[in-house]
Amino acid sequence: MKKGKQPYYFNDRKLGEFEAEKCPECKEVFFTEEASDKIDKTAKDMGLWGLRLEGKLGYSGNSLIVRVPKKIAEFLNFKEGQKVSIHPEGKGKLAVEA
């Protein structure tokens, strides 16, 4: 294992570089406990913490709709009328991509 600073990303947003150990063979990265605490604090300070929210399904005409909470829509930069791709990602999972 090689010690050093490694970048940490949350949904394509770089939160910074933090102390970690990286396997030179498989490239797997293990952040230290202190670094993990700093990552959590950075995510909270950036307003990224807690983006998992619950919603409800509804109907609009003959279509089942999913409402995207404002905080998540803003994070993803989704706009009204924007075209998206919707596809299943396994049992009980739905992906929406811009």
Confidence of residue 78 (pLDDT cuts 50, 70, 90): very high
- Taking the whole predicted model, whether its pTM rises above 0.85 is answered as no
Structure tokens that stand for 85 in this block: 């791709």
Which string of b and e fits 44-78 if b means at least 16 CB within 10 Å?
eeeeeeeeeeeeeeeeeeeeeeeeeeeeeeebbee
Q: Where are the alpha helices (DSSP H) in the chain?
A: 33-45, 70-76
- Please state, in angstroms and as integers, the Cα–Cα distance from residue 10 to each residue in 7, 67, 90, following that order: 10, 22, 22
Confidence of residue 71 (pLDDT cuts 50, 70, 90): confident
